[in-house]
Amino acid sequence: MTSDINISLLPKTLQEIAQEIGISDTLKLVRHYGGTSVYIPRKLKVGHELIAVLGIDSATKICEKFGGYDRIEIPKAQMLTLELRNIEILNDKKVLSRSKVARKYGLTERQISKILHRNKHPQVIEQPALF
């Protein structure tokens, strides 16, 4: 599912983190710390929370790149969260009825219909010419 993610939906901070540790581990970071600030140490100590969240490899990479700064804000990435939810809804709709999908996600059937419609007919935003 992470291959379906549009990286541009990530805030700039998370785009930088994703370049270091990958999108999958960046999502783990968002799920665990989203909406808060986190101190990233220069050197990891055994049992540090980042190891439990990301695993030793990604925790080490993030410390090497971002460690020692005051604190790093980890955004909630609401656009990304909605996009991931919508991808799950599209997948669930293949095997569940619209009403079951709506109940599963706490949405109305009308909201599910709009999500399904938007993804069948994605909006194309054309950028105007600069010159």
- Predicted confidence at residue 2, as pLDDT, reads 57
- Contact (Cβ atoms closer than 8 angstroms) between residue 31 and residue 23: no
Q: Is the pLDDT of residue 71 over 70?
A: yes
Cβ-in-10-Å burial (0-12, 13-18, 19+) of 94 comes to: exposed
- Contact (Cβ atoms closer than 8 angstroms) between residue 21 and residue 58: yes
- Predicted confidence at residue 119, as pLDDT, reads 78
Residue 34, token pair as written in the block = 């989203």
Task: pLDDT band for 52, please (50, 70, 90 cuts).
Answer: very high
Q: Is the pLDDT of residue 125 over 80?
A: no
- Predicted confidence at residue 131, as pLDDT, reads 47
Task: pLDDT band for 118, please (50, 70, 90 cuts).
Answer: confident
The arithmetic mean of pLDDT across residues 30-52, rounded, is 93
Residue 59, token pair as written in the block = 């925790």
Q: Is the pLDDT of residue 124 over 60?
A: no
- Predicted confidence at residue 81, as pLDDT, reads 79
Query: Higher confidence at residue 81 or residue 124?
Result: 81
The β-bridge partners of 38 are 72
